[in-house]
Amino acid sequence: MKLALIGLGQRGTRLYYAAIKDRADVEIVALCDNYEKRLGEFAAMLEKEDGKKRLTYTDYRKCIDESGCDCVMVSAAWDAHIEITMYAMERKVAVG
């Protein structure tokens, strides 16, 4: 399963990532966050861990449309959850 993580705050980087990082059936293909510094830091950390470079986005729409993900894990700010979830579902991308 090709996964995009959308929102890289505490929930995205600590809780959700910890739950999926060792799963052989999940490949994190893309990362998305409004804050470029946080996005770059997390992408660099993942690349250091496993040597894989991820696609990075600051716009969730581009992330969903361009990354080739099968599903997204949304941990963005609460007020953005519905908008991001609906956008993904309208494009037949599973949401977790």
Helices and strands counted in the chain (H then E): 5, 5
Phi, psi dihedral angles at 93 (to 5 degrees): -105, 125
**What is the average pLDDT score of the chain?**
92
Whether residue 12 is predicted with pLDDT greater than 80 in this model: the reply is no
Q: What is the pLDDT of residue 76?
A: 87
Structure tokens at 94: 């599973």
Using an 8 Å Cβ cutoff, are 49 and 20 in contact? Answer: no
Structure tokens at 82: 């519905």
Whether residue 42 is predicted with pLDDT greater than 80 in this model: the reply is yes
Q: What is the mean pLDDT of residues 56-69?
A: 98
Q: Which residue has the higher pLDDT, 37 or 78?
A: 37
Using an 8 Å Cβ cutoff, are 39 and 56 in contact? Answer: yes
Alpha-carbon span 38 to 3, nearest angstrom: 19
